[in-house]
Amino acid sequence: MSLFAALAAGLTLIQVIAHRGASGERPEHTRAAYELAIDQGADVIEPDLVMSRDGALVVRHENEISGTTDVADHPEFAARRTTRTIDGVATTGWFTEDFTLAELRTLRARERLPDLRPGNTAFVDEPILTFQQVIDIARAGSARTGRVIGVAPELKHPTYFASLGLPMEPPFIEALRTNALMAADSPVLIQCFEVETLRSLDQSTDAPLLQLMSNEGGPADQPGMTYAAMVTPGGLAEIATYADAIGVDTAMIVPRDASGVTTTPTPLIEDAHAAGLKVVAWTFRAEDPFLPTDYRGDLPAWLRRFYGLGIDAVFSDFPGVAVRARTHPLP
């Protein structure tokens, strides 16, 4: 049974969500990353969605693309380098909203973390994908493997894009409708850090919704609201009025002390389950800079720690590792 059917049936099942594909082994958000993740046993593949100038849903980690594409090598686009303020942060670079989909398709993906993942720099010919192409990859993967491969799209900066006259919800809902992904048991899990986008989608689709939260700050569209308040029992009860799951930083479940060593787990998983919410933790990566001090060099053990705590799903850049670790969870 998939996470999506489990959500509908009220069951608990650990699922592996390939974070931007097998992004630890291929450049993120590329066909190569998604297909490898499926072949490694991932249950779900995750695309981050941003907007093109002509309203297409494009798959990139952020709308600023200098670190994930070869846009800087295109002299025809040099004049489009600019500074934008997104969710209160000034950022300089090239932005998807300044390019048509046809122009974005002339770019090629690049490894975002070349110093940590030098092997991924060999993959330089991968084009930029659309949301529809990722849905198609999942469906082809389902046919190839005999498993239902889900898709977990994240809508990035929807309030910002709406301010530009590029609201994300209409083309997103149209994509769901076109692909018959509107039902509660559809193989899709819709994510966003913003609250009102999820509330709006809750009125438009029965597909499962996931409220993303970070260990710091709060939703960009809710001034004064903090994620810390949202993970209290009262906050979780409120989330349950519009969403089916929460997606949280691992440190919100297993905190770390000042030296990076893990401490006593919080009651977040139990509290969320009591509110009727599934819990997904992000992001499990193999490189030591991302791991707690006491788990360095041992991503499988770090994953099994969460499996033993009753997590419902994990986001991992190394889905093959997460799938293998799932076979032998700690008691």
pLDDT in tens, 144-181: 999 999 999 999 999 999 999 999 999 999 999 999 99
Per-residue pLDDT for 16 more than 50?
yes
Per-residue pLDDT for 7 more than 60?
no
What is the model's pLDDT at position 331?
Answer: 45
- Where does the pLDDT of residue 1 fall: very low under 50, low under 70, confident under 90, or very high at 90 and above? very low
Per-residue pLDDT for 245 more than 90?
yes
Per-residue pLDDT for 81 more than 60?
yes
Per-residue pLDDT tens digits for 272-291: 999 999 999 999 999 999 99
Question: What backbone phi and psi angles, to 5 degrees, belong to 232?
Answer: -75, 160
Per-residue pLDDT for 6 more than 60?
no
What is the model's pLDDT at position 112?
Answer: 97
Q: Give the relative orientation of helices 319-326 and 299-309 as an angle to the nearest 10 degrees.
A: 50
Average the pLDDT over 229-237 and give the result: 98
Q: Give the relative orientation of helices 31-39 and 131-145 as an angle to the nearest 10 degrees.
A: 30
CA dihedral for 281, 309, 24, 143, sign (positive or negative): negative
Do residues 188 and 181 make contact, with C-beta atoms less than 8 angstroms apart?
yes
Dihedral, CA atoms, 244, 215, 255, 305, nearest 10 degrees? 40
What is the model's pLDDT at position 11?
Answer: 47
What is the model's pLDDT at position 304?
Answer: 97
- Where does the pLDDT of residue 327 fall: very low under 50, low under 70, confident under 90, or very high at 90 and above? confident
Which tops the pLDDT comparison, 9 or 294? 294
In percent, how much of the chain has pLDDT > 90?
94
Per-residue pLDDT for 10 more than 90?
no
Per-residue pLDDT for 250 more than 90?
yes
Find the angle CA(80)-CA(81)-CA(86) to the nearest 5 degrees. 110
Q: What is the pTM of this model?
A: 0.95
In percent, how much of the chain has pLDDT > 70?
95
Average the pLDDT over 103-109 and give the result: 98
In order of 22, 40, 178, 218, 269, the CA distances from 174 in angstroms are: 27, 30, 6, 29, 33
What is the model's pLDDT at position 15?
Answer: 96
CATH architecture for residues 3-62+127-326: Alpha-Beta Barrel (3.20)
Pairing of strands 15-18, 313-316: parallel
Per-residue pLDDT for 17 more than 50?
yes
Rounded-to-integer distance, Cα 308 and Cα 330, Å? 5
Rounded-to-integer distance, Cα 53 and Cα 260, Å? 42
What are the residue ranges spanned by the domains of the chain?
3-62+127-326
Q: Give the relative orientation of helices 169-178 and 195-204 as an angle to the nearest 10 degrees.
A: 40
Average the pLDDT over 40-58 and give the result: 98
